Amino acid sequence: MEVHYTNNVINKNKKIGCYVFTICNNIDAIIKLIKTHFGIKQFPKTFLKSTDLFKRLYFDDYEFLFIFMKKKCNHKSLYESFGMLGKELSKYEQNIQIYLDQKDSNVIKNQVLSFILGTYETLEFKSSVKEIKKNVYFYHTKKYEVIIKNAIQIATVQNEVRFLSNSPANILNNETYEKHIKKNIMKNIKINVLDESKLKKLGLNLILSVNQGSKHKARLIQLTYKKNVKKSDKPIVLIGKGVMFDTGGYHIKRGDFSDMKNDMTSSSIIYGLMKLIGYLNVDGYFIALLPIVENMISGNASRPGDVIVSYNKKTVEITNTDAEGRLILADSIAYSEKFKPKLIIDLGTLAGANTSFLGSKAGTILGNTNKVIKKLLNCCQKNNEYLLELPMWEEYIEETKSKIADLKNDSGGIGAGVMPGAFLSQFVPNKCEWIHIDIASIDYIYKNSNMRYNGATGSILRSLLDLMLEKIEM
């Protein structure tokens, strides 16, 4: 499927099979447009009084699909209905044109995004799937062309993120993931990879310890982007957990954990974020750090009770080998000190306990900068993504202390949603602003919803992008 912008109400030469119109307190304007451009003089009286969300009207060469929003016509309902529309038309085999007439740029962006996200289903690993070659055209006036084209690109990258996160670990591993990033990253972004020998030399031992049981080599992928910056400008450092598969190590997970191929989703979101920063030519200085490991069991794997010296020389007792994500993020956060960042944002799937009290509706956020947290929460509202701010009191930090080392990586389930952040706070460079985002409750859906097919969501990518587009004054 290829998606385009158009400012032609009718694309006769494009062989459109389905024209889509949204009835949203604008029924007279839509009828007038159809009468003017399509020559349709009358509609069945009962048709325009439909209580269905989607209603079709068939002609010899094409069909109309109407979205009847009725009174519930707002930012959120349009986002949801266009996600449902994308899913509804994902198997449609002819070209589609979608007529947009909203005036709010953010609403338009979300309509386009949600449609494209709704069409995506992970079918790449099936042997006999028919590829549907069709074009989708979004119509609006020239005023909104850039908004629509950018929304198309953002959704395309988010679907790439979802594909990566859904990819099996025997296909997408430490090595092949690095190759994918090198092949697909924007040309205006520099890439540097710290291999295992460099990690050892630098003392990034927490990253190395998580990967000890794997046959694949650990690495830290660095992506750097600069545009219109002064020599004195400091970067924003973005860090994403990249555990290609997580068995839990010797604290092995129970039941079906085939979804743990998705434990690298935070790194794929940060990769996607950098790709969009490059595509949009954002002014600023950004560095992404992607620690890439695989948490496996073998004779070489880390044991419960091991004590590891981290990059910043703090010693960490491994009390839980399944609390590995915070270890690789901790070393990456500490390592970022060399770049003298003005802000660090780390992203992970660390606290599965968040699902217990937030369901699959929201992730969590905490940190040492209320200003940036509030900005990001505002961005979330605009993008139909949800985060709940958690406290990080000194009492939580006290719980991260070990009896035999400086710190321990797990506190036995106490304050499970907060403790990963409390642990990571011990590695933040002095006088640096920092936020920690946990998406363990929103990174994956296990059943098809009315808006999306099951699998990875890529959630929080769009809100982080909007935050990067703002001028963050520290």
Q: What is the pLDDT of residue 352?
A: 81
Q: Which spans in 337-400 are helix H?
A: 354-358, 370-382, 394-398
Q: What is the Cα–Cα distance from 323 to 328, expressed in whole angstroms?
A: 10
Q: What residues pair up with 288 in beta bridges, in sequence order?
A: 223, 238
In three state form, how does the secondary structure of 377-431 look?
A: HHHHHHCCCCEEECCCCHHHHHCCECCCCCEECCCCCCCCCCHHHHHHHHHCCCC
Q: What is the pLDDT of residue 472?
A: 65
Q: What is the pLDDT of residue 211?
A: 98
Q: What is the pLDDT of residue 71?
A: 65
Q: What is the pLDDT of residue 473?
A: 60
Per the structure block, which two tokens stand in for 205? 């031992």
Each residue's pLDDT tens digit, 94-119: 999 999 999 999 999 999 999 999 99
179: Cβ contacts below 8 Å, ≥ 6 apart: none
Q: Is the dihedral of CA 202, 434, 262, 118 positive or negative?
A: negative
Each residue's pLDDT tens digit, 354-409: 888 888 899 999 999 999 999 999 999 999 999 999 999 999 999 999 999 999 99
Q: What is the Cα–Cα distance from 144 to 5, expressed in whole angstroms?
A: 9
Per the structure block, which two tokens stand in for 228? 């219109």
Q: What is the pLDDT of residue 359?
A: 83
Q: What is the pLDDT of residue 48?
A: 73
Amino acid (1-letter code) at residue 242: G
Per the structure block, which two tokens stand in for 140? 């609006």
Distance set, CA 455 to CA 24, 31, 123, 273, 447 (Å): 31, 39, 11, 20, 8
Q: What residues pair up with 16 in beta bridges, in sequence order?
A: 95
| Phi and psi based region of residue 138 (left: phi greater than 0; alpha: psi -120 to 50; beta: remaining) | beta
Below-70 pLDDT ranges, the chain: 70-71, 471-474
Distance set, CA 127 to CA 26, 131, 164 (Å): 45, 11, 18
Q: What is the pLDDT of residue 66?
A: 93
Query: Catalytic residue positions?
Result: 253, 326
